[in-house]
Amino acid sequence: MLAGGALDFSINGSTNYGSIHLANNIALAGALGVSLANDYSPTSGDSFALLSYGSETGTFSTLDLPHLSGGLIWRTNYGATSFTLMVTSAPPFQLTAGTIGNAGGDFLFNFEAIAGQSYQVQYTTNLAPAHWIDLGDPITATNSSMTVSDLTGLGPHRFYRVILQ
pLDDT (tens, 9 = 90+) of the chain, 165 residues, equals 455 678 899 999 999 999 999 998 888 888 889 999 999 999 999 999 999 999 998 888 888 888 887 778 888 999 999 999 999 887 766 655 555 666 667 788 888 787 777 888 888 888 888 899 998 888 888 777 788 888 765 556 788 888 877
Q: Which of 89, 112, 142 is where one domain is finished?
A: 89
Predicted TM-score (pTM) above 0.85: no
How many domains does one find in the chain?
2
Q: Going by C-beta distance under 8 Å and a sequence separation of 6 or more, which residues neighbour residue 145?
A: 96, 110, 111, 112, 113
- Residue 1, domain member (yes or no): no
- Residue 160, domain member (yes or no): yes
Q: Which of 25, 56, 89 is where one domain is finished?
A: 89
Q: Both 37 and 77 in a single domain?
A: yes
For residue 28, give its domain range. 6-89
What is the 3 state secondary structure string of the chain?
CCCCCEEEEEEEECCEECCEECCCEEEECCEEEEEECCCCCCCCCCEEEEEECCEEEECCCEEECCCCCCCEEEEEEECCCEEEEEEEECCCCCEEEEEEEEECCEEEEEEECCCCCEEEEEEECCECCECCEECCCCEECCCCEEEEEEECCCCCCCEEEEEEC
Sign of the Cα pseudo-torsion (92, 161, 144, 27, in order): positive
Q: Both 79 and 132 in a single domain?
A: no
Distance CA 150, CA 123 (A): 10
- Residue 78, domain member (yes or no): yes
Q: Both 114 and 72 in a single domain?
A: no
How far is CA 94 from each of CA 21, 69, 151, 164, rounded to the nearest angstrom? 38, 20, 22, 12
In this predicted structure, what is the pLDDT of residue 11?
96
- Residue 67, domain member (yes or no): yes
Regarding beta strands 118-124 and 133-134, do their DSSP bridges make them parallel or antiparallel, or are they unpaired?
antiparallel
Q: Which of 46, 63, 89 is where one domain is finished?
A: 89
Q: Both 103 and 64 in a single domain?
A: no
Q: Both 125 and 154 in a single domain?
A: yes
Q: Both 104 and 67 in a single domain?
A: no
In this predicted structure, what is the pLDDT of residue 94?
63
Burial bucket for residue 11 (CB in 10 Å: 0-12, 13-18, 19+): buried
Q: Both 10 and 38 in a single domain?
A: yes
In this predicted structure, what is the pLDDT of residue 92?
66
